[in-house]
Each structure stands twice: as C-alpha cells, then as structure tokens.
Amino acid sequence: MTHDNSWPVALKFMSIGASKIHNNRQIVMTLDHDVQNKSEANLKKYRQIEEFAKKHGVDFYPAGRGIGHQIMVEEGYAWPGTVTVASDSHSNMYGGVGCLGTPVVRTDAASIWATGRTWWQIPPIAKVTFTGVLPPGVTGKDVIVALCGLFNKDDVLNHAIEFTGSEETMRSIPIDDRLTIANMTTEWGALSGLFPIDSVLQSWLRAKATTSAMLRPELGDQARFTHAKIDELINNPLTADPGATYAKELYLNLSTLSPFVAGPNSVKVATPVKDLEAQKIKLDKAYLVSCTNSRASDIAAAARVFREAAKDGVIPKIADGVKFYIAAASLLEQQAAEETGDWQVLLEAGAEPLPSGCGPCIGLGTGLLEPGEVGISASNRNFKGRMGSTEAKAYLASPEVVAASALKGYIAGPGWYQKPEGVEKVIVGEGSGNFAQDKARSIEDALDKLVSQADNIIANAEKDLFGGASDAAAAAEEEETLTEILPGFPEKIEGEIVFCDADNINTDGIYPGKYTYQDNVPPEKMAEVCMENYDKAFREIARPGDILVAGFNFGCGSSREQAATAILAKKIPLVVAGSFGNIFSRNSINNALMGVEVPRLVKRLRETFKTKDGEEKVLTRRTGWKLTWDVRRSKVIVTEGEGGQTWSQKVGELPPNVQEIIARGGLEKWVKAQIEA
C-alpha cells in the first residue's frame, strides 16, 4: 500500500525505466495524509495518483474514503497468514489480524512495483506472552502504552514480535484492540507485531464474510472475505513450531493493568491515569483521530463518556477552552458510528469533525498544537513537534480517556476502571510469566553456559599448547575477513565528529513532518531544515564532511526517506550511532547514506562531554574528535581530539552487494541499472 506518497513512488518507478507494474493485484493506493489540503498543487498530485492507478489497473481509494491501514484491514487486503507491506511506518497494524505487516520505504515500493520483490534482513524474534484478562475499563491502547513505558530500554528494538497467551487471555482482547496494539509496536521499536490466528480472529472473519455475502452477492468467490477462504485458513493454520526458541521473551499480566497515559512528547513515559488526574493538567486540545483508535468501537467508547454524564437526556458540552477534534478511521467506520448515534453524540457535545484521514496525527491541516498548548490524543505518536509546535506538550491515551479529558478540561479518566482485589502494581518481566516453566528454562540456559565455558577452556588450552599454530591461524582468519571493496568505492571515510547527544532522535526530529508532503523541496532547503525539530542550532554547527554521531535508536519513527536524504543534502557522508531504527537503516541504504553502529563511541563521548551540574545540556556539539571508518577492515579508528588517545573498534562488514547499491547512488539507480542490463 502507498498513500499520498504514491506519486513520488511513481516518479521513482518511472525514473528507473519501468513502464509496467509487475503485478497490479499486488498494489493498493489510498489518499489519506494531506486530505484537508485543497491547494492546486496537492489536488494536482491527487489527480496524478488516480490517473496512474487507473492506467495500471491498481485498486485506488480517494481522499475521504479512509486511512490506508484501516482500508487494508476492512477490505481484506491484509489477509491472515500472508505478508503485507506499506510505505508507512504503521504497517505493523496488520499483525492485529494475523497478517505479518511491516513498513518499507518509497524506493522499496518502486522496486516492488517494478519487480514484485524487495529485500529484508531476517530480524530477531521476540515473544510477548499475555497472562490474565483485560479488566473492565482497560483497553488495547493501555496495553501498548504500558509496554512502551515499562519496557523502555529498546528491549524489542528491530525485533519482530509474536503475541501469545492462553485462550481465555486472548479472548479478552478484541480485534480492534489487537489492531491498536500491533499498530503501535512501531513506537515500541519493533518491526512487526503479530497476533495469532485464533478463535477471536476466526469469528471476526466469519462476520466479515457473512456481511460481504449479504451486501455484495454478485462478487461470489471473487470477494476478499469468503467462508471458503476462512475454512482453508483454519485447516492450514500458521503457528509457531513446537519448541521454537526466541531471541527474547517478555510477559505482561493484563489483569494488573489500569488505564495509562503516554507522555508528554514520548511513548516511553507511561503514567497511570489516576496519577495524572490528581495533577489536573489543563488541556487545550483533544483528538480522536488516526488509524490507531478511530474505529466505530472507539467512537462508541468516547460517546459513552458523554452519554453517562448526561442529565435529563441532555448531552454535556466539552469543557470551556478545549477543542475536541474527531475523524473516523474510514468512511465505513463513520457510517457505523452514525447508525448507532455515537457520532452525533460527539457532535452534540461540541466536537469538530474532520475528514477521514491522518490530519493532526501527522501535523497536517486543522487543529495543530500551538506553542504552550497541551493536547491529548488517541493517535499513535507524540514526538515533540509532530502534532504542531515543538513548544507544545502531547499525550496519548485511549478514546475514553481522551473523551473524559475533553469533558473535564484536564487529563482524566471516565471512572470505569475498578482495581481488582490484591492488585498493587503492574506485573511484567522476562520469560513467559509461568514461574515453573521459566525456572526450567533458566536451568537449561545455565547448562548451555557451562558447556560453552568448557569449550572455551579447551580452546584456550589448545592455544597455550600450540600457540604458534593458533596465532598463525588467527592471523590468517583476520586476513580472510577483509572486506572486498568494489572499484570506485572508498576504502576509508573520515571526518570530524559532530555529536548529537540524545537517544531516540526520531524522523520528525531529523526532517519535520510539515515538509514531508511538499514535493520538489530543493536540497538546499532540506539541508537547512535538517535536524530542525531536534535542535535548530544544528544547521549552523554541522558542516559538510562532518561525521554525525548520535545516541541509541537513531531514526525511529516514520518511513519518510527525507530523514536520510536531508542528511545527505547537508553533505554529511556517514552517520554513527549506538543503534539505528530499522526503517532509517533501510532508507539510508536505499538512498546511499552510510551508517555504522559503535556503542562504545557514544559512551566515550558522553563520558568526556558530560553536562555538569547547573549547565544546560548541549544538544549539538563540535567535538574536535576525528573518526575514520576503514571499510576494508570493518574497523573505525577514533582520535579523541588534539593529543588525545586513539583507539579502534571492529564494526559490521559492508558487503559488496550493499556497496554496489550505495556506489550506484541508491536502490533506485541500482534497479534502473539492472533493468537496463
């Protein structure tokens, strides 16, 4: 699926020399991001996208029909047991219906259009086990906000997640809640979040198939939801292998959860609603929008807040000074909410309707946060500056908490949650949550460790006894690990280190959202606004040829390729970080920006340039340190300033196939060369 970025993808598609989409049944186009923009330039782009889709026989959904991810689910494109991708970071959402959803970027999309294929590195798999059941008043949004806030040390960074639990546990999580949880696994740092194909999903699919047969009988077997397809799915279920091992296992006891709020300006800060309610944090704006939490069930939950506060049948108004914006995830979801009267209840309360689309969630159109304002949203992302001003504060919560906050004028819950007896704190941890099972596994791991230690003892003894031969073998091995350098590719990259001392610098921080859907932004402008939402001083401090060094999880967030191309526009050839968000890594390779992970360097920089008490933290700093990346030897050499120590560190190898893509100027030019060849 591609959305408003379909035309930029089409331009890439045509620039590589492609003229025919490999499989037009593989492609879906939606218009959802900038639907409030009625400028001639945007309307022209929308016409170009529609005409391109019509020409190539691609399924197309116009502006106002719904958010792409919701359409992919409700129309049956994201089918359980398959892989579905979109050029958008919240493609993880498809995992809520047992479909492996993961994001790709624009260049990947163009390549898929042309060839039907793309590339992946197989990620580590994390297993997240749910125990207990969701208490009344606790939602899927509370689950994922709690996971992001309680496991906030990059625990699942660049992992694919499998969610599991007993039948009783999983029955307490409806499909809409699963979609919310899966959607926001990207905020947790994961590449995907997959729920099982279980009885809950089967019931949901049966209902969709029955509705389809009643409303569109003429489609017959051609319908995307059919009972025959569901039968086949049930008869050939996709499940984890017995005894499967995982890179990481975590658990969360749902019974111990209460409503949570994320923020301000971070999903990694999660606070129980009751704690914030006591603070009476005044609100300016509330939002029930986005693909995450704007389905009919969410609108119903919000409407219930106002219905229960009604007196003599009169729906109360939202609090003075608060604006409450609502936009359904799709036109079908809005129609369903209208049929139940829930949509009208919110309008009667004073909510302002917006067209179905991303709008305020992405920082586009009506209702953005102004400097000094506080907002609470049922959307998925609250990075600083994403929903408006960098000087505003944004919180995330469930639809009912958003509605209750809009009604009261400060962050508050509806009062539906009743703490279960004996629950004092959220129970989370590593393992499966089954003590006996986890204990047995830890014993097994300890035995494996002992065997490994014994192997090391033997190896060291052999080295002591046959040192000469072992040293020679080691030297030979070192020689064998030299990376082949393609003709024309630099063997070394070097420059002065500019240090951006922060973790989780996101794509909105690197390249502001307000420029993302402006086409043909010149490189000079991209260079000027690079890192603007992180630190406005960056534009003056960083120079061409510098090596940009940042903390951990650099480039998390959206799939915008400009996060990489803006850095290139700044003429910075290399980014070094403690770790990278996977989507930024893809964009970097696809756009010929090089990146290397060196956690030790981040640690040394922080030790050397530690902020002293009473001093304001320096966000961007020229260090005077020099870094050289020896590509052939897969090594970085760091000189810590004039007269400082010099040290080296082995890093990941840059294989020839990646070199070739970068040397060509990115994946787009590489694919073009392949087509021409």
- pLDDT tens-digit series, residues 209-242: 999 999 899 998 899 999 999 999 999 888 888 8
Residue 393 CA to residue 266 CA, distance in Å, equals 10
Burial degree of 418 (CB within 10 A; 0-12, 13-18, 19+): exposed
**Mean pLDDT, range 110-129, rounded to an integer:** 91
Q: Specify the pLDDT at position 475.
A: 45
Instruction: Enumerate residues 6+ apart whose C-beta is below 8 A from 450.
Output: none
The yes-or-no verdict on residue 421 having pLDDT over 80 is yes
Structure tokens at 261: 């709020």
The residue ranking higher by pLDDT, 475 or 659, is 659
* Cβ contact 150:426 at 8 Å: yes
Q: Specify the pLDDT at position 455.
A: 60
The yes-or-no verdict on residue 477 having pLDDT over 70 is no
Q: Specify the pLDDT at position 481.
A: 66
- pLDDT tens-digit series, residues 598-619: 999 999 999 999 998 888 999 9
- 213 half-sphere exposure, CB direction, 13 A CA radius: 12
Q: Specify the pLDDT at position 149.
A: 96
The yes-or-no verdict on residue 471 having pLDDT over 80 is no
Least confident of 377-381, 424-428, 655-659: 655-659
Distances (CA, A) of 251 to 49, 127, 138, 281, 443: 44, 8, 17, 32, 19
Q: Specify the pLDDT at position 656.
A: 85
**Mean pLDDT, range 443-465, rounded to an integer:** 56
Q: Specify the pLDDT at position 315.
A: 97
Taking residue 538's Cβ as centre, other Cβ atoms within 10 Å add up to 20
Residue 225 CA to residue 208 CA, distance in Å, equals 6
Least confident of 308-317, 509-518, 548-557: 509-518
Q: Phi, psi at residue 349, to the nearest 5°? A: -75, -10
Q: Is 415 left (phi over 0), alpha (psi -120 to 50) or beta?
A: left
Q: Specify the pLDDT at position 548.
A: 98
pLDDT level of residue 483 (50, 70, 90 thresholds): confident
The residue ranking higher by pLDDT, 399 or 418, is 399
pLDDT level of residue 464 (50, 70, 90 thresholds): low
Residue 68 CA to residue 74 CA, distance in Å, equals 10
The residue ranking higher by pLDDT, 348 or 460, is 348
Q: Specify the pLDDT at position 470.
A: 45
Parallel, antiparallel or unpaired: strands 260-262 and 270-272: antiparallel
3-state helix, strand, coil in the chain (%, to 5): 40, 15, 40
The yes-or-no verdict on residue 444 having pLDDT over 70 is no
Any idea what DSSP says for residue 320?
T
What percent of the chain is modeled with pLDDT above 70?
Answer: 93
pLDDT level of residue 528 (50, 70, 90 thresholds): very high
Instruction: Enumerate residues 6+ apart whose C-beta is below 8 A from 545.
Output: 495, 496, 571, 572, 573
* Cβ contact 2:45 at 8 Å: no
Nearest CA to 377 out of 358, 355, 349, 356 is that of: 358
The yes-or-no verdict on residue 55 having pLDDT over 60 is yes
The yes-or-no verdict on residue 378 having pLDDT over 60 is yes
**Mean pLDDT, rounded, of the chain:** 91
The yes-or-no verdict on residue 52 having pLDDT over 50 is yes
| DSSP conformation letters of 339-386 | HHTHHHHHHHTTPEE--SS-GGGGT-STTPBPTT-EEEESSS---TTT
The yes-or-no verdict on residue 446 having pLDDT over 80 is no
The yes-or-no verdict on residue 304 having pLDDT over 80 is yes
Any idea what DSSP says for residue 34?
S
Distances (CA, A) of 103 to 53, 85, 431, 605: 21, 5, 28, 32
* Cβ contact 535:542 at 8 Å: no
The residue ranking higher by pLDDT, 663 or 623, is 623
pLDDT level of residue 176 (50, 70, 90 thresholds): very high
Q: Specify the pLDDT at position 17.
A: 87
- pLDDT tens-digit series, residues 565-602: 999 999 999 999 999 998 898 889 889 999 999 999 99
Residue 387 CA to residue 20 CA, distance in Å, equals 38
Sheet holding 125-131, edge to edge: 192-194, 160-165, 125-131, 248-253, 428-430
Q: Specify the pLDDT at position 586.
A: 86
Q: Specify the pLDDT at position 437.
A: 63
* Cβ contact 400:416 at 8 Å: yes
User: Among 61-70, 149-158, 425-434, 652-661, which range has the highest average pLDDT?
Assistant: 61-70
